[in-house]
Amino acid sequence: MELNNKVIIVSGAGSGIGAATAKLLSAQGAKVIASDIDLSKVEAVVNEITKSGGQAWAKQTDVTQFTEVAALVSETVADHNQIDVMVNNAGIGGEHQRKTAEHTNEDWHNVIAVNQTGVFYCMKTALQQMMKQGYGNIINIASLAGLKPSGYNLSYSASKFAVVGMTKSAALEYGRKNIRINAICPGYTQSPLLDKLIGNKPEMGDTLKKLIPMDRFGEASEIAEAIAWLASDKTKYITGQTIILDGGTSLI
Q: Which residues are catalytic?
A: 156
Per rule CB under 6 A, is residue 17 in the interface with ligand NAD?
yes
Nearest residue to 158 via CA among 204, 119, 126: 119
Which of residues 118 and 247 has its CB atom nearest to ligand NAD in the complex? Answer: 118
Which of residues 131 and 211 has its CB atom nearest to ligand NAD in the complex? Answer: 211
Position among 16, 54, 136, 247 found at the interface with ligand NAD (CB under 6 A): 16
Instruction: Label residues 77-91 b or e (16+ Cβ within 10 Å = b).
Output: eeebebbbbbbbbbb
Q: Which stretch binds ligand NAD (CB under 6 A): 8-16, 127-135, 207-215, 226-234?
A: 8-16
Distance of CA 63 to the CA centre of its chain: 12
- Please, which of residues 171-210 interact with ligand NAD by CB under 6 A? 186, 188-189, 191-194
- Please, which of residues 129-148 interact with ligand NAD by CB under 6 A? 141, 143
The CA distance from 11 to 91, in Å, is 9
Structure letter (DSSP) for residue 190 = S
- How many residues of this chain interact with ligand NAD, rule: CB under 6 A? 30
The CA distance from 178 to 164, in Å, is 20
Residue 46 CB, shortest distance to ligand NAD, in Å, is 13
Q: At what angle do helices 220-231 and 16-27 cross, to 10 degrees?
A: 50
Give the list of residues 6+ apart from residue 200 with CB closer than 8 angstroms, or none: none
The CA distance from 155 to 107, in Å, is 7
Per rule CB under 6 A, is residue 245 in the interface with ligand NAD?
no
Helices (H) and strands (E) in the chain, counts: 9, 7
- Please, which of residues 36-95 interact with ligand NAD by CB under 6 A? 36-38, 41, 61-64, 89-92
Residue 96 CB, shortest distance to ligand NAD, in Å, is 16
Residue 197 CB, shortest distance to ligand NAD, in Å, is 7
Q: How far is CA 211 from CA 57, 216, 247, in A?
A: 38, 9, 9
Which of residues 25 and 37 has its CB atom nearest to ligand NAD in the complex? Answer: 37
Per rule CB under 6 A, is residue 114 in the interface with ligand NAD?
yes
Q: Which stretch binds ligand NAD (CB under 6 A): 30-38, 78-86, 170-178, 234-242?
A: 30-38
The site for ligand NAD (CB under 6 A) is made up of 11-12, 14-18, 36-38, 41, 61-64, 89-92, 114, 118, 141, 143, 186, 188-189, 191-194
